[in-house]
Amino acid sequence: MTQRANHCELCATAGGDILWESPTCRVIRVDDPHYPGFCRVIWNAHVREMTDLDPGQQQHLMSVVFAVEAVLRQLVSPDKINLASFGNMVPHLHWHVIPRWQDDRNFPEPIWGSVQRPGSEKRPAISNSELAAALSLALNSAEK
């Protein structure tokens, strides 16, 4: 681990409640009451950019991101899913997978943008165990 990685939040901590993990990456739940089901897919090794991965690793990571998207679409029926990879604040490769609704507090802005309205309180409730079970089913079959 590099000196930089020693100070990396995503190297030092899980980054949230782990819902699924493999030797290469993990899926965590982001605790945000406005966006139920918000997950991050985090590459376990400290790398900054997608091009730091070889093509097979890139494909694997994106297959996990797409599986998380599919599971969230099935479980919470959002109007849209946002996929984002920034790393400006935490330069460790990770993807945000964010269910969105037209009446959420920021729509159509990104969730980090200006609040547009109070947002609906009517969101599907999904427990970590439900989400973890669905992810395990989708991802463990894809791993084989």
Q: Provide the mean pLDDT of the chain.
A: 92
Q: How far apart are CA 44 and CA 26, in angstroms?
A: 7
What pLDDT digit, counting tens, does each position of 102-115 carry?
A: 999 999 999 999 99
This model's pTM is above 0.85: yes
Give the bridge partners for 94, in sequence order: 42
95-104 pLDDT, tens digit per residue, is 999 999 999 9
pLDDT at 57 over 60: yes
Q: What is the CATH number of the domain that holds 135?
A: 3.30.428.10
- Tally of domains within the chain: 1
Token duo for residue 48: 């900054």
Letter for the amino acid at 49? E
Asked if 81 contacts 100 with a C-beta cutoff of 8 angstroms, the reply is: yes
Examine the pLDDT at 45 and tell me if it is beyond 70. Answer: yes
3-state secondary structure of 62: helix
* Residues constituting the chain: 144
> What range does the domain containing 111 cover?
3-143
